[in-house]
Amino acid sequence: MLTKEIIYDLYRKFSKSGTSIVVVPYREIDEEAFNSECWDAFEWHRWLFQDTVKLPVIRDDLTKNFFVKRDDKVNKLSVVIKIPYEYHNQYTDAIYEVNNVVSQDGCCMLFVNNMIYSFASYLVIEDDYQNYEKIKAVIEKHQLEIDMTQTLNSLYSQLYSRAYNTINFTSNCSKDQILLQMTAVYAYKDKDELARSGYYVSEADKPNVFISYSHNDKIIVKDVKDRIVMCGLNVWFDENCIAVGKHIVNEFMDGITKSDYAIIFASKSTVSSVYSKAEIQNLFVKVLNNEIKLFIVKLDDVDMNSIFPNLKNYKYYDFYQEHNIDKLVMSIVDFVKKK
């Protein structure tokens, strides 16, 4: 049975002088629950642990650890290194060497965000300052990028919302063990797998989508726009992309030129919109030259040919009949993924 005395013993056992992070393995807390894979039992253990040490305790079922952040007053060397999510498999050697020079009293932790379109990962080192030169030498050898915008505290705080999973590399980790742990914590192994799944890490890799609509339909269109942006698409939307003082026609022509896809929201309001009809006319020039792909959405019972000749001969998504915005968004995202 887990008692406060046992908790204090575990807390002291796994505390290190070189780091403010205390990592306590599930197995050490309740071996029976660990062996039977009864992970829900550890929520009670987490609460009891937190109530005992009077510090926030985070439970991570992926790595099977409790994490406790001490409020240390002693200054320590703390470095955050950006590990590009899509190329993380190229950093195994570097992480192995960094971990080797971190002292047994320090910590070397990998924070990984697998949330769609928020993909990110960071290697966090915390150690005594006397180890600075060794750590610096490895960082310079592998030309690792130190990220000054992140700190151990900022990343640790995001464990609460489960935005990140984390691995604490032990001081005697072999390269194979590090690779195995990295494989477990990353949901996607590389850039190619991300792309095959329709996800993108860098802005440059995301498909560019131009949205053509009448301002009378702005409420529904903006809702769709916001949702597909959350799905990882770069969207040209006049409200966001045309600055005050810019020539409107020149700006939307530039947006069309830079786009890979276009969504036309067709409605009765489109018929009387000079700008919408001009956009559609220019989009079809690009379509005929195989320079852009169209996704057409019919918002009401408009006669499609009244917007553009033979427009009704093009397959469109009939939102007027379906009226399911979630399904519409997924149809757009799937269309773009097919490339």
Residue 296 has a pLDDT of: 95
Listed by start position, the domains of the chain span: 10-69, 80-196, 206-338
- pTM score, two decimals? 0.63
Residue 338 has a pLDDT of: 67
Residue 200 has a pLDDT of: 66
So what's the architecture of 206-338 in CATH? 3-Layer(aba) Sandwich (3.40)
Q: Which amino acid is at 251?
A: E
Q: Which amino acid is at 76?
A: K
How confident is the prediction along the chain (339 residues), in pLDDT tens digits per residue? 788 999 999 999 998 888 888 999 999 999 888 888 888 888 899 999 999 999 888 888 878 889 998 876 667 889 999 999 999 999 999 999 999 999 988 889 999 988 776 788 999 999 988 889 999 999 999 999 999 888 888 888 877 767 788 888 988 889 999 999 999 999 998 888 887 877 766 666 678 899 999 999 999 999 999 888 877 788 888 877 767 777 777 888 888 888 999 999 999 999 998 888 888 989 998 888 888 999 999 999 999 999 988 888 889 999 998 888 889 988 998 888 765
Residue 21 has a pLDDT of: 87
Residue 202 has a pLDDT of: 65
Residue 117 has a pLDDT of: 64
